[in-house]
Structure 1
Amino acid sequence: MIDKIEIENFIQDLAKVAKVRVEVAESLGKIAQILETAEFAGKETSGEFGLDREIEDMKASSKNLREGVFRLMVLGDMKRGKSTFLNALIGENILPSDVNPCTALLTVLRYGVEKKVTIYFNDGKNPEDLDFKSFKGNYTIDPAEAKKLEKEKKQAFPDVDYAVVEYPLPLLEKGVEIVDTPGLNDTEARNELSLGYINSCHAILFVMRATQPCTLGERRYLENYIKGRGLSVFFLINGSDQVRESLIDPDDLEELAEASAKIRKVFHANLAEYCIVDGQDIYPERVFEISSLPALRRRIKDSFVSLEGTGFPEFMGALNTFLTKERAAQEFRQAQTLASQANSRMKEAIARRKPLLDEDVNELKVKINSVEPEFKKLTEIRDQFQEEIRTVRDKKAKIVADSFRSYILNLGDTFETDFLRYQPDLNFMDFLNKEKRETFETELKKAFEQYINDKLSAWTITVENEMDAAFLQLSRRAAHYGASYNTVTDKITEKITGKKVKSFGNSATEDDSPAWAKWAMGLFSLARGNIAGMAMAGVGFDWKNILLNLVTVAGIGTIIATISGITLGPIGLALLGLGVGAMQADQARKKLVQVTKKELVKHLPQVAQEQWQPVYDAIKECFDIYEGEVSERIDDDIQSRKRELDNLLKQKEEREINRGAELARFQQLEIDVSSEYKNIETVCDNFLKAVA
């Protein structure tokens, strides 16, 4: 059963999340400051603890939480009412909803104290700040001009990358950022731009229309860009109130019920497979019938008016549950993991330091020298894990690159069947007309772009499966090496202090892996996906965005350029050679596919050969970045442990350490850090209980 909530309640819950974010961020920042102050003081007392990495992670996590937003991406074909829906959601009519999608810009809507629009360009020009009136005047064109540009396959504003709209609205102020995309049936280049942002968003709001249920274009995008990618998608069936208007007798309730039932059946048949999460059918929690225009009309008059009967309360309830119970809870668990890790590391460092305060300098030197074999073992563990990563890297890079080559070379085997859904309508007599033939050539080129994009998108699903399996394997190996690493560090502590130092984890179930292993296992992340200048904390190693940038954007663009270089010269001659007869249209279509296939197959070996290395390099780069971060974190840990001992030795050689003062300083340090950590635990636990 979906809990229905109104906009006002939704904003209140977002405010609670924002409040917790600030409180947790402040405590993380204080922990970083406390540790930084302690390290500075250590330079004049018994030495630093080597907590630089913990300090850096606390600062990064604090900054991420302060800047944290829930980013929602709005997708959908043209004329689905995306802008009307967004205006209804935010409560003000600020996005133009009557402009032909051919002129649409990718627009990021975020909070700002002042109303303004900033246009970002892709040709090196400085950003341009505009007021709303100028924005609408400069970046919209009339429908007639839009149709002309669409026919010519030209972009209205080819030099524009995206627009950022800042507005002082409660929904945005409480931590929501919205990415409004061009229509999905716009040009392939615009589609790639829109789809390139998907992995940086918390949820996708896919807007459809009740009176045009599941068009071919919508099914195409769902199948090729959404299916099997683990994305969180809410389907909004807009214009449900307009079903009545399409009836012969709008007052016939029986006819209305029958028409509505048929529409729901069509949507369920096409969307059900996208609403299975972990084997559970969550269709009622992901598909909503909404009426955006009535909702907008109400909200313009009263921002917090009830939207009962428009479908918004049901949708807002599901979105609220998703964002607070799932996404926010995930953020706060990661923050707890980082804080716990810093607290434990600090306590362990103090526990190691205390027995050494009275240690004779010469005896300390002997003990430090005695643990050199253990430090060597730590380095060996790093090297072994590093080698495993490289082995997986080389294996997966070759598997993926080889699969790409085979996939490309085999496109010709199924082309005649696959291309049927893409080929443009062909009227043979029209083809004899030069002007109409040029239009057909343009349509054929567009069909090729769609065909190639879709085929390569299907291939990337297999790539994602390969990469998921690879990083799951590496996560398990990280746990293995982390356990071995802990055994060695425990040995170092025992040899140095003469006794074991207990683990300072905060519960029996808490993972006690070293910090670098937790990162490698995906238990926390400081990754920051970038979208229109705003970063977002990720979950685990963010290889999907790396792969998107290195393969999808560069690789597919090159392939399309190569294959789309096929002209209608050979195809046109073949069609003209058919002559005019009763079967000309059918023959022409068959000939079109045959000759097109022949031309395509001629290019495939070249594409397969030329793109093998870029694909290989892209996969390799993903693992290299992962390996680099893991190795750096292990090195930091090893060096910090060495510095911890070297700093103590140096201080002992230079001055007499005041044992009493140091013990008091350690005690206060533990109290201060534990206090902030407990505050994080309390705040997060209270929030998690409240949303449970």
Structure 2
Amino acid sequence: MLADYNKLRQAINESFEKINRAAQGINDEILSQNILNQEKLNQNIFNLVVLGQFKRGKTTFINSLLGAEVLPTAVVPLTSIVTVISYGETLKITVVFKDGSTQDIRLEQLPEYITEAQNPNNIKNVKEVRILYPSPYLKDGVRLIDTPGVGSIYRNNTDETYNYIPKVDAAIFLLSVDPPISQAEVEFLDDIKKYAAKIFFILNKIDYLTPKERTESLEFSKQVLESKVGLANVRIFPLSAKLALEGKLAGDEEKIKSSYLPFFEAALSDFLLQEKGKTILLTAINNAVQQGKQLLALIGLEKKALGLTVQELSEKIEEFNRQMEVIAQEQTDAGYILKGEMGKLVESLDKNLADFRETQVTRLYNVMRQYIQNNSGLSNRELKEAVDKHLASLVEDAFEQWRPVQTQLISESFEKMVTRFTVKANQIIQHIGEISRNIFDIEVEAFSKIEKLTDESDFYYMLEDDDTMFMIDPSRLSYLLPGFVFRNLIIRDLRKKIWDQLDRNCGRIRYDFVQRIDKSQRAFISQLNEKIQGLLDGVRKAVNRALEKKQISDKEVEMNVKKLNKNELILSEVLADLERLKKELSY
């Protein structure tokens, strides 16, 4: 499973290992960074969130992916806590509490923490449960995340659950043939599609149907998803999780094939490789190439330094250190200026948010006032519920139209600023290059990375209101008031309600944007500083090491040159292999 992805990842790992061996004894910083890049590749986590109503066979499906009965079948329909299943050499279950403490438990204790029956209203303050299990499926980088079922994930409004939604790599939504897709599922999907970049749909329990009934059920579910949820080109994977699990437990390939699980696994593999996986692999290749080229340049520098006399080399090192004091000040100044520019970007965001809020308060007030008049025939209770629902929809629609435009504007402004500072960064590095070339006769690679505004976001709208949002208390017989009086009470408090909803979500959007801007800015400055410091440290260590060896003996110098020549050849071959892998991924 996921063989193509693992094949390419293994090839990149081999290149990392060769660079690591070449860097040993030459440059510890490159070695450390290369090891970190390799770990990042191998610890790649693919978040696969499983969703669905109870009695859809969710537990059996998860167990079929794992190839073992890890989750008890009586647990999942009652679950109220997020459960994260990752790879581990042996089964291990850890309960993570909201205060940060943890507790290891046995499998039979699991219901005590994740079910509503034994942990009502989460009185034990559980944040999530983490399960480690030695499944080959998880070893390939997949992390299964089981969330509370449809109808509870959003109504509880728990941050622990919401935080997983913006970060999913793929969501799996389970339907089943008994009964067909429900209105509750349609409403839930209407929400989840805004957060999940990819949703896989599975129609479970197909072993209960004839081939004709299976086709009809698939077509019906597809039609509902496209017409009611507004999804296009929906693909639904038929599945018998029961047969898949039985087949995996028995090692029966025919039963696994008849369950249709391999078709879903193949689609998941393609998604992992072609979309998320491709990006991960290309990033790893680029990191390896960067480290390999830098190491190759430092090897060339050390070889040239070994050709100088001790006196010549000492003089060049002293001159290089004097020049680097100027570079350090240039580097500090660039960081301060960039932070100031980012502050101006946040000020622009604040102004845009204020303008949006003012405009929308007036617009929504007029729209809602007319809506109330048009629905004067409803009872007081029905009117309040209708107003709440309609206003929440209008507020969310307003933000959904404004937020992407604002994201684009901020992203463009951010990238323009960073582009300008990339020019400044390259001026600094060019200065280092001129100094290095004049003193040591080596070339330095430019810093061309332009950091984009990060897409990572934990944002979600908060549109649920308490009954106190309108100053009408149902417990005081407000619903028994004459209709016109009740309507006037709602209209009286309408502008404040609209303002509160807009202001609350404007604040959340501002926080989200500021966090993303700050994270992107820090990433850019960090990359710039690492690039400059890496160059400085690399040059200093290479020439100092050459000086030490020349002060020992000519034989030591000769042996070191042979070692450097060997590593130079290895690195040239590695860089050629990486370029080939890069082209292979591009097709």
Match of 2:148 among 179, 182, 186: 182
Compared CA separation, residues 570 and 674, structure 1 to 2 (3 A): farther
What one-letter code is carried by the residue in structure 2 that aligns with 1:340?
A: V
For 1:70-129, what per-residue CA distance to the aligned partner results, in whole angstroms no more than 9, with x for missing partners? 3211123444332232223333333244557454321112233333422222245x4232
Which letter maps to 2:138? Answer: L
Greater relative CO, 1 or 2 (CA 8 Å, sep 6+): 1
In 2: Cα distance, 1:141 partner to 1:189 partner? 13
- Find the aligned partners of 1:493 and 1:575 in 2 and give their Cα distance: 78
In structure 2, how many angstroms separate the alpha carbons of the residues matched to 1:417 and 1:308? 59
Q: 1 CA distance for matches of 2:96 and 2:414?
A: 39
Report the equivalent of 1:521: 451
What stretches of structure 1 of length at least 5 have no aligned partner? Answer: 1-9, 41-51, 147-153, 245-250, 276-282, 432-439, 505-511, 523-540, 579-586
CA distance in 2, matches of 1:70, 1:640: 31
For residues 593 and 301 of structure 1, the distance between their equivalents in structure 2, rounded to whole angstroms, comes to 66
- What is the CA–CA distance in structure 2 between the aligned matches of 1:34 and 1:450, rounded to whole Å? 65
Change (3 A) 1:324 1:569: same
**Is residue 170–residue 196 contact of structure 2 (8 Å, CA) maintained in 1?**
no
Q: Residues 353-412 of structure 1: CA distance to partner in whole angstroms, max 9, x if unpaired?
A: 665645465576567767877776666655555554443343235434654565577555
Match of 1:675 among 554, 566, 570: 570
Amino acid at match of 1:38: I
Normalising by structure 1, what TM-score? 0.67
Structure 1: distance between partners of 2:220 and 2:501: 45
1:564 deviation in Å? 5.8
1:319 to 268, 271, 278: 268
Q: Is 1:169 matched with 2:135?
A: yes
| Equivalence for 1:530 | none
| Residue identity (%) | 18
Mapped partners of 1:414, 1:677: distance in 2? 68
The CA deviation at 1:321 is 1.3
Structure 2 counterparts to residues 206-221 of structure 1, below 5 A: 206-210=173-177, 215-221=182-188
2:225 partner letter? F
Give the C-alpha shift of residue 465 in structure 1. Answer: 5.0
Query: What's the CA shift for 1:138?
Result: 6.2
Q: 1:25 to 1:407 in 2, by over 3 A?
A: farther
Pick from 288, 304, 326: which aligns with 2:253? 304
Q: How far apart, in 2, do the equivalents of 1:243 and 1:382 lie?
A: 65
- Range that drifts further, 191-200 or 652-661: 652-661
Whole-Å Cα distance in 1 between the matches of residues 179 and 485 of structure 2? Answer: 33
1:193 alignment counterpart: 160
Query: Aligned pairs, how many?
Result: 578
Q: How far does residue 231 in structure 1 lie from its aligned partner after superposition?
A: 0.7
Partner amino acid for 2:103? E
Q: Aligned-pair distance for 1:489? A: 3.3
> Is 1:467 the equivalent of 2:362?
no
1:269 aligned partner:
227
The reply to whether residue 396 of structure 1 matches residue 336 of structure 2 is no
**Per-residue deviation at 1:182?**
0.8
Residue 31 (structure 1) aligned with residue 19 (structure 2): yes
Secondary structure of 1:234 counterpart? strand
**Counterpart contact for 1:416–1:593, Cα < 8 Å:** no
Shift of 1:173: 3.5
Contact 1:91 1:303 in 2 (8 A): no
Quickly say closer, same or farther: Cα 1:468–1:118, change in 2 above 3 A. farther
- CA 1:454–1:322 in structure 2 vs 1: closer, same or farther (change >3 Å)? farther
Using structure 2 for the length normalisation, give the TM-score: 0.77
CA distance in structure 1 between the partners assigned to 2:405 and 2:558 by the alignment: 53
Gapped regions of structure 2 (runs ≥ 5): none
Query: Would you say 1:628 and 2:522 are equivalent positions?
Result: yes
| Aligned with residue 204 of structure 2, among 229, 233, 238 | 238
Aligned to 2:479: 575
Once residues 101 and 256 of structure 1 are traced to their aligned partners in structure 2, the CA distance between those partners, rounded to angstroms, is: 25
Task: Note closer, same or farther for the CA distance 1:20–1:218 as it changes in structure 2 (3 Å cut).
Answer: same
Distance 1:209 1:594 in 2: 47
Alignment counterpart, residue 118 of structure 1, candidates 63, 85, 94: 94
| CA-CA distance at 1:340 after TM superposition | 0.8
1:544 aligns with 2:484: no
Q: Is the 8 A contact 1:110 1:166 kept in 2?
A: yes
Correspondence 1:125-140 to 2 at 5 A: 126-136=101-111, 139-140=114-115
Distance 1:479 1:198, change over 3 A: same
Matched residue SS, 2:71: coil
Matches within 5 A, 1:238-387: 238-240=204-206, 261-270=219-228, 274-275=231-232, 283=233, 286-302=235-251, 304-351=253-300, 357-358=308-309, 359=312, 385-387=338-340
